[in-house]
Structure 1
Amino acid sequence: MDELNLIQKIAVMALPLVFAIVLHEVAHGWVADKLGDRTARDMGRLTLNPISHIDLFGTVIMPIMLMVMNAPVFGYAKPVPINPYNFKDPKRGMALSSLAGPATNVLMALVFAFVLRILLPALQGILPASLWSWFGSPVALMCFYGVIINVFLAVLNLIPIPPLDGSRIVHWVLPDKQAAAYYR
């Protein structure tokens, strides 16, 4: 990717990054909604509209800074609000809604990998070379970065350090006394 200029980098990374962070947050809210917490729904955050989820620093500035530095690109969105007191079992509800984000990133990485490995090679044999260079190559790069970004976000979010999703999952697994000590 070193041969691409900054504008080209943004063009091939922006779409997979926005999909990754928006679907990650919507997944949290959707699972919470299914488990009884309507907070995200009531606040209009169960939408795929990126405008509702964009955090200026985490979604725009930080990813561009990472691209400029040739570092792994990732970002974050505004967290979807979840009220654990709306769940029948607050620990379980928080754990499952927290697990939904990284699970969605893993699923998206698999979809991008499928497109990259199966669909695009099939199209390459069908499309004329001129159309392939215009369409196929950028889509292949988007899929490649879609895999990288989503795997990175899933792994990062599973680290059991607050405020990452992994800390809420660990809280569910631990007995109450150890969970309280964990958060101190």
Structure 2
Amino acid sequence: MSERMYGPEPMHIPADYGKIRFSKEELRHILFSVVVLTIAFTLAFSGIIYGDRHIIGLSTAEYFLYYLAVSCVAVFSGFLLHELAHKFVAQKNGAWAEFRSYPMGLAIALFFSVMGFLFAAPGAVYIQGMISKKQNGHISIAGPLTNLVFGSIFIALSMAIVDNILLSYGCYLVGSINLLLAVFNLLPVPPLDGYKVLKWNLPVYIVVMAAAVAMAAGIYLGWWW
């Protein structure tokens, strides 16, 4: 998710216009969010309270390490790359853009994870600068598109891997998380990305949202697993 922190400033083109850069503060926020989200995903995936370890025939330690590995990939592709896509596109368009975590949102993620649910608002990329409606649309759609692409790739991998059930199922979980995040972030409700994409270009919004919904629907209809 991306948010505008301030209104447009007077036009000023810095010497490092379009360069990708991180501040130390931003890196701390990213690391904190990734660690907390990975813990939350691991707890939710493994079903720390209601889990059925016998289903995949692993010991307790193997079971936990398996879901820890899956969670790392899910957080990296579903959360981190989503936010970095917003950041990189914004900075390529000359805007200031940095990620900031939501401590309360991360606390909520941990709370729900121990009950086997995933619900999180880990933070957002804040943007400041002179950007047009079209540029803002590009920045906003970059995150959900990243989720849609990685979701499709991991679902395809899960279907292609037929001789390793653990690897196939791990890819399915990562793909499912990415696809569900794509649909959620494309909802036309402020401050979600879908609201800004819809304001920018209705046909683009319809096409991307339809693709995300179709892929995500396959999760519930059993097409992908």
Alignment length, in residue pairs? 144
SS at match of 1:81: strand
Aligned residues with identical type, % of pairs: 28
- Is residue 181 of structure 2 the alignment partner of residue 153 of structure 1? yes
Tell me the equivalent position of 2:197.
169
Equivalent positions of 1:18-167 (< 5 A) are 18-37=76-95, 39-40=96-97, 55-59=102-106, 61-71=107-117, 73-83=118-128, 85-87=129-131, 90-118=132-160, 120-121=161-162, 124=163, 137=166, 139-167=167-195
TM-score normalised by length of structure 1: 0.64
The structure with the greater share of residues assigned to strand is 2
1:117: how far off?
A: 1.5
What SS is found at the alignment partner of 2:125? coil
8 Å Cα contact 1:10/1:64 also seen in 2? no
The reply on whether 1:3 has 2:49 as its aligned counterpart is: no
Q: Which has the higher helix share?
A: 1
Normalising by structure 2, we get a TM-score of 0.54
Question: Aligned residue for 1:13?
Answer: 71
Q: Any conservation in 2 of the 1:22–1:77 contact (CA below 8 Å)?
A: no
Compute the displacement of 1:116 (Å). 1.1
Contact 1:16/1:143 (8 A) holds in 2: no
In the TM superposition, residue 107 of structure 1 has moved relative to its aligned partner by 0.6
Give SS of 1:75's match: coil
Q: Which runs of 5+ in 1 are unaligned?
A: 46-52, 125-131, 175-184
Structure 2 CA distance for partners of 1:3 and 1:142, relative to 1, 3 Å: same
Alpha carbon RMSD of aligned pairs, Å? 2.9
